[in-house]
Amino acid sequence: MSIFVDETTTVLVQGLTGGQGRFHGLRNRDYGTKVLAGVTPGKGGTDVEGVPIYDTVAEAVGATGATASFVVVPPRFACDAILEAAKAGITFIVCITEGIPAQDEALAYNRLVREFPATRLLGPNCPGIISPGKTNIGITSGDIALAGGPVGIVSRSGTLTYQALHELSQQGIGQTTCVGIGGDPVPGTNFIDCLEAFEADPETRAVMMIGEIGGSEEERAAEFIGSRMTKPVVAYIAGVTAPPGRKMGHAGAIISGSQGTAQAKMEALETAGAVVAANPTEAGEKMVEIVRNLP
């Protein structure tokens, strides 16, 4: 199985007429994702390589029945696009937009929680989600993913998401779903959301978790792993050598005092029973070993 999305998921792309929206939206369609529509205000009635464009998400949903949205719009429009999708009844939103102010993210996230509890947001500033052989929403290359399970992947880092997929696929280890949650301070979907879904998925038999410095999400995930997870977890935390007080890459990747350090996160995960790797390649190797020894 897969989590959150599968081969039945129907998708509209908010921003399909833009350069990035067109490139990634059509790549998703070519992968086999059911991309049914695009949304760009003022361009309704046109199309992008046969994909019809609508002025509003509500019009697109009414015409196609799409259940998921891929948001590829500039930062100043992204939160409005997310809320428009939720209002139109979209239940799964992937937003790859980078550079949204944290205050705007927090306002949009809290409105989703209060007003649209049935809608899940992935991102912003994330690579998206891929269930190999079924559907791909976002910017992950389908070429590096391998269908057939049994590993679920959840990652804060886009680049390390790709490396994890590639290294497992090179070893013939397939994935059920790979979720890039993004590294912004206010993620719509967090580690625990994904770990809980993987724990409930009968075809996911092991999980790879990739975190990084900053915040406390990895420590919270460690508590969940220690108390709720029955499946093996391999973890890697990026940023061991990062200096305190300096932002490293993601807006959420900043260390404050003794909190948010890679070492603290690694210790919490080890205490919870996860297998903690020293580098991304070792994480792949440890996962291959675990999978090959599954009963």
Q: Which CATH number is 179's domain given?
A: 3.40.50.261
Domain-located, residue 129: no
The pLDDT of residue 262 is above 90: no
SS3 per-residue string spanning 125-146: CCCEEEECCCEEEECCCHHHCC
The pLDDT of residue 255 is above 50: no
Q: How many residues does this entry show for the chain?
A: 295
**Containing domain of residue 253, as a range?**
141-292
Q: What is the mean pLDDT of residues 128-147?
A: 98
Name the domain count of the chain.
2
Q: Which of 93, 122, 151 is the last residue of a domain?
A: 122
Domain-located, residue 127: no
24 belongs to the catalytic site: no
Q: Are 274 and 233 in contact (CB under 8 A)?
A: yes
The pLDDT assigned to 256 comes to: 46
The C-alpha atoms of residue 59 and residue 161 are separated, in whole angstroms, by 34
Q: Are 60 and 11 in contact (CB under 8 A)?
A: no
What pTM did the predictor assign? 0.94
Domain-located, residue 237: yes
Domain-located, residue 40: yes
Active-site residue identified among 134, 205, 250, 265: 250
Q: Which CATH number is 37's domain given?
A: 3.40.50.720
Q: At what angle do helices 191-200 and 217-228 cross, to 10 degrees?
A: 20
A 10 A CB-CB count for 289 gives 12
Residues 6+ apart with CB under 8 A from 40: 14, 15, 16, 17, 18, 53, 55
